[in-house]
Structure 1
Amino acid sequence: MSSPFLLNPAITFLNHGSFGACPKPIFEEFQRFQLELESDPVDFIQRKQPAYLKTARESLAKFVGCQAQDLFFTSNPTFAINTIMRSIQLKEGDEILATNHEYGAMDRTWNFYCKKSGAKYIRQNITLPVTSKEQILEEFWKGYNANTKVVFLNQISSATALIFPVKEICERAKELGLITIVDGAHVPGHIDLNIEELAPDYYTATLHKWMLAPKGSSFLYVKPTLQNELEPLVVSWGYESVAPGESQFLDYHELQGTRDVSVFLCTPKVIEFLEKNNWKAVSKNCKQIVLDNCQRFCDLLNTQPISPITSEFLGQMASIPINTSNPTALKNVLFETYKIQVPVMPLNGDYYIRYSINGYNTQEDLDVLYKALEDIIKTTDLIQV
């Protein structure tokens, strides 16, 4: 499946998890909308765009398991979390319970909010290696107390690539009367998702990672009973609109003046590509490659897996602990000398080399990485084994 992608064939690309990769048919659809926009910007923005956005929302909602009127497009999950942050109205001493596996931009967002509001952001420790789902749940809820008002967590961790038991956490949080906010950046197109079954209050995720959309395509789902409480991050024409649309929620968050929404409008084409190419089967094969290689890389690096090597904890990514005193130099050597694009991820003072596998990858790509790491171990002091 490498031929539809625009990736440089000279690079061994093992970093789909960071920003995704877009196939040619989807990218051409993106450019088609941009050309249509530029051919008559007034007609496109004022007349066509609302209907196009509705069609895109409807196709996305069906794919992720919710109603089309309950989500809107954003450029990335960080934008979505900033929107929520603006509206949740916590007071001094209230607590946001998260884990110490969250994405760095999200940590920074909540730290900013806490400095302004006096609330506290609790990064509850989840011990590595994870041994079971029950361990995660037990350790996570040790961070709960009477001051906890919000639960925030990623469904798949960026640094560790671990899948978290979000459904169980949302269910318990609901029993406790807590607000639930889920960062599902890595989820759509990667593992099964039905937002209404998970039943969070807020859910954000990307299309430009595992759904293969062009860069800058994400969404925010908001539970219907909370939609009128969500303030727009950008106040624009949708606020007190002179021509209200189907809902105040969509008016506030979709109508933001002049912007290129072409990336959002590609969504039906994105889903068509996934279905036409049986991407669930492609994904299943990729996941098996991830599992088959995890212990092999741990053995090479003389480290231990950070979870059981099963589909309960791993999807199309795996993070292998690596002992290095200079992660930046290691990443640079892998790219500049060996032409391998793979991240060396920091988290809580430790480092992980995280490989991602998608339809354009083969076992040979991981063999290239393995041989490069063997060579670096033998010829440099960048990796300690």
Structure 2
Amino acid sequence: MLPRSRHPLSRRAFVGRAAGALGTTLGTAVVADFGTPRRRAIAAAADRLRHGAPADAADDEQFWREVRAAFTVAPSIVNLDNGNVSPSPRVVTESLVRHLEMEQDAPVLVRDMLGPGTANLARELAALLGCAPEEVAVTRNATEALHTVLLGYDLRPGDEVLTTTHDYWAMQNALDQRAARDGIVVKRVAVPVPAASMEQLRETIEGGMTPRTRLVLVSQPVNLTGQFFPVKQICEMAHARGADVVVDGAQGFAHVDFKIADLGCDYYAASLHKWLMAPIGTGLLYGRRDKLAKVWPLLPTAPAAPKDVAWKFMDIGTRSMAPFVAIGDAMHFHETLGAARKEARLRFLTRTWADRLAKVPKVRFSTSFASPEMSCGLASFSLDGVDDDALQRFLRDRLGILVQSIRYDRASFRGVRVTPNVYTSPADLDAFCDAVERVAAKGLPPSGRS
């Protein structure tokens, strides 16, 4: 005989419990429980800064110590690889675990009750983006969202899709498959590294356009280097030539402060488990309402389903709703920090380590620091005479410092990507810079020594 649940609940009590959770996390406004001392401390610290300029808070270490304490980050690890997957603050992890346990109490009931709540979640994500709720779909990551557009957008043989050599490999693979299957033409332009100006980047994209260009894919920012593009100008140029624009925002959403109108794009995709710090396996897809009918869902919906709403992309079968519910807590944490304040902190952290390593003769940057709008919290470098993979392994295995070594042959790119986050301290960056300076001066130590 199977053991009885350790938490026996009547159906009425169970429904009440689930409804209460929904009211907290997916209500008409995103409301996380800030009743604990730690959560109150962050809210109070943010309130203290509310009248100041965001840049003034960038180096306010008293505030950022409160933020750091909201994470369960191991003190023995210096995590500078948040552009891969970021840890979530404790409040998000607790929400995820709580709703996973609820699902195990009665999976079908919880799915039926939490599932409709994703409409509320779409409304909250739409508010962050500055668009209509019908234009937002909740996905599992940016790759799923972008593949939906790249593989579902109406194209005919001979139509061209323009992208760059620096766009993410999964999107390149999708376009190559589309070319092989449907006879479209994929054009790729080489991105200057580092770019001299936003105008140079705009001209690079313009130089790849032809009368047959139907769709333009651009990253904001590029995952390799953190390079931002003048997306608004690119969209205006593309629209004037009859092309639509899809933006890969996997590294941009909740990284910098913007609204979708600031970009002017037709489609936008993001992973929420990076800079929003939501649970792993969460993302979003935005589509302009008048452009949604151009995109076929990867998984078909009912024939009578509306064609001009992004929700048509969310019918993907059975899945756990717990990660999606916890997105609400991540959004509230993000909003408590303040999007502009967070952007200022990320730029401050990057410039802190980059300015220091810029004094090392052997360091070469792939990221442009020509003007503030060209980069933020993601930057890449290489060290003359030192293998990038070996440097990554040394930092990780000997010192507990996590960075990302990247080799991307399509773009002839190699480098080490560094991505701090809001819980990163100046001491973390000092430890990283100390190590790189030591390697630059003496080389990598022999195996078995640090």
Q: Find out whether 1:65 has 2:123 as its counterpart.
A: no
Partner of 2:351: 291
Find the counterpart in structure 2 of residue 343 from structure 1: 404
**2:144 corresponds to which of 79, 92, 105:** 79
- Correspondence list, 1:29-44, <5 A: 29-44=95-110
Q: Does 2:440 match 1:366? A: no
Contact persistence 1:323–1:351 (CA under 8 A) = no
Confirm or deny: 8 A CA contact 2:145 2:284 kept in the other structure. Answer: yes
Q: Which of 261, 274, 285 does residue 220 from structure 1 map onto?
A: 285
Decide whether the 8 Å contact of 1:57 with 1:72 is kept in 2.
yes
TM-score (norm 2): 0.78
Q: How many matched pairs?
A: 376
**Inter-partner Cα distance in structure 2 for 1:256 and 1:272:** 27
Q: Do 1:53 and 1:264's aligned partners in 2 also have CA atoms closer than 8 Å? A: yes
Partners of 2:313 and 2:156 in 1: how far apart? 25
Match of 1:313 in 2: 374
Letter in 1 for 2:394: V
Alpha-carbon distance change, 197 to 330 in structure 1, aligned in 2, over 3 angstroms: closer
Q: Does 1:257 pair with 2:317? A: yes
Segments of structure 2 that go 5 or more residues without pairing to the other structure are 1-66, 446-450
Aligned-pair CA distance for 1:150: 1.0
1:331 aligns with 2:396: no
**How far off its partner does 1:196 sit?**
3.5
Q: Distance in 2 between matches of 1:377 and 1:293?
A: 15
Q: Which amino acid aligns with 1:365?
A: D
1:153 aligns with 2:213: no
- Residues 292, 307 of structure 2: 8 Å contact kept: no
**Match of 1:239?**
302
Shift, 1:256, TM fit: 2.7
List per-residue Cα deviations over 1:67-95 (Å, max 9, x = no partner).
Answer: 11111111111111221233223233322
Q: How does 1:125-204 map to 2 (within 5 A)?
A: 125-204=190-269
Query: C-alpha distance in 2, partners of 1:207/1:194?
Result: 16
Q: CA deviation at 1:372?
A: 1.3
Q: 1:251 to 1:369 in 2, by over 3 A?
A: closer
Q: How far apart, CA to CA, are the structure 2 residues paired with 1:89 and 1:276?
A: 40
128-137 vs 325-334, which moves further: 325-334
Which residue identity does 1:262 align to in structure 2? A
The residue identity in structure 1 corresponding to 2:381 is I
What displacement does 1:325 show? 6.0
**Aligned partners of 1:376 and 1:259: how far apart in 2?**
46
**Cα distance between partner residues in 2 of 1:317 and 1:306:** 8
| In structure 2, C-alpha distance between the alignment counterparts of 1:88 and 1:286, rounded to whole Å | 35
CA RMSD of aligned residues (A): 2.2
Deviates more, 1:189-198 or 1:22-31: 189-198
Structure 1 segments of 4+ aligned residues over 4 angstroms from their partners: none
For residues 272-312 of structure 1, what are the alpha-carbon distances to aligned partners after superposition, in whole Å with 9 as ceiling and x for unaligned? Answer: 11223445424312312212332432332342564234321
Retained in 2: the 8 A contact 1:298–1:320? no
> For the structure 1 residues 125 and 137, does the alpha-carbon distance in structure 2 shift closer, same or farther, using more than 3 Å as the test?
same
